[in-house]
Structure 1
Amino acid sequence: MLFSAVSGRQIVGSGAADTIGEVAGLVVDPTTRRILAVHVKKAESGSVLPWSKIGAFGDDAVIVDTSQAITDPDDETAALEGKSHNLLGKRVLTSAGNQIGTIDDVDFDPQSGAITSLILDTEDVPGHRLVGVGSYAVVVDTH
């Protein structure tokens, strides 16, 4: 599933089947190369949905058990969310310091949240090569 395809997707509570928020973005942990949380807008309270609280990440909606799954970010999530850690549009450098392109999109596994591929304007880079995300660039391993 692509990052570009999930923005605006509804977050639905499975019990009452009503919309409790909307996907505003994804918070990536470059250390584990996984989505840590979903940044939420239009929720009654809280601004993030931890990946562990997601029941299903489908083509049409994100399903959670309850609206209490959406919370305020913990310290780890707060450190990784925000504009400076957004992957889309960032330049990509290898660990050797060479620029290899700009991220057009990111492919991830909707079951596990694992980053499977960084889709650059020049090539695709396997997700396991992701090393770090900063305000200036995304760094990938040269191998």
Structure 2
Amino acid sequence: MLFSRVHGLPVLTPGGADRLGTVRALTVDAASRTVTHVRVRRGRLRGEIVLALGAVEAAGPDGLVVRPPDGGPSGAPPHHDLLGSRVLTECGEERGTVLDAAFDPADGRIEAVLTTFGEVPGDRLLGLGDHALVVRSGRAHHL
């Protein structure tokens, strides 16, 4: 599933009983190469809730079905937007900007990141912060 296709999807409880909001963003742990949380916009004045990816029971082109939040602490890590991030290698070489990313909604594994320079396999992700997405260059390190 592509990040761009998930953004803005409705987030529903099982049976469609309640609409929690819409997907605002996905939180990525680049070191483990996985999507860890879904950030749900509840409305203009109602703020945002953060759900662990494990709360997602089903994902498709029409929306996400999630177990309702229990109101406890989410324990969500800090969020850095993957889409639009600058891409750098571990040697500091510029590798474009993130356009999109493909992930497996069942386990959150990042399969590939599409950049303005081409596709980067998910197994080359090293870190994501405010400044950039850092990827392994795939060749010998510079001295």
Q: Same fold (TM over 0.5)?
A: yes
Q: Alpha-carbon deviation of 1:49?
A: 1.1
User: Could you say which residue in structure 1 is the equivalent of 2:14?
Assistant: 14
1-structure distance, mates of 2:114, 2:70: 30
Shift of 1:17: 3.3
Identify the residue that residue 105 of structure 2 maps to in structure 1. Answer: 110
1:101 and 2:102 are equivalent in the alignment: no
Shift of 1:73: 3.4
Structure with greater helix share of residues? 1
Residue 137, structure 1, aligned to residue 132, structure 2: yes
Per-residue CA distance 1:49-88 (angstroms, 9 max, x = gap): 11011111111111123x22576531xx242x1xxx1111
Q: Note closer, same or farther for the CA distance 1:102–1:46 as it changes in structure 2 (3 Å cut).
A: closer
List aligned pairs for 1:1-143, cutoff 5 A.
1-42=1-42, 47-65=49-67, 67-68=68-69, 72-74=73-75, 77-79=76-78, 81=79, 85-143=80-138
Q: In 2, distance between residues paired with 1:29 and 1:70? A: 23
**Judging changes above 3 Å, is the alpha-carbon distance between structure 1 residues 45 and 55 closer, same or farther for their aligned structure 2 residues?**
farther
Given residue 131 of structure 2, which amino acid in structure 1 is its aligned partner?
Answer: Y
> What residue number does 2:141 align with?
none
* Structure with bigger gyration radius: 2
**Percent sequence identity over aligned pairs:** 37
RMSD: 2.0
Which consecutive residues of structure 1, in runs of 5 or more, have no partner in the other structure?
none
Q: How many residues align?
A: 136
Alpha-carbon spacing, 1:49–1:70, altered in 2? closer, same or farther (3 Å): farther
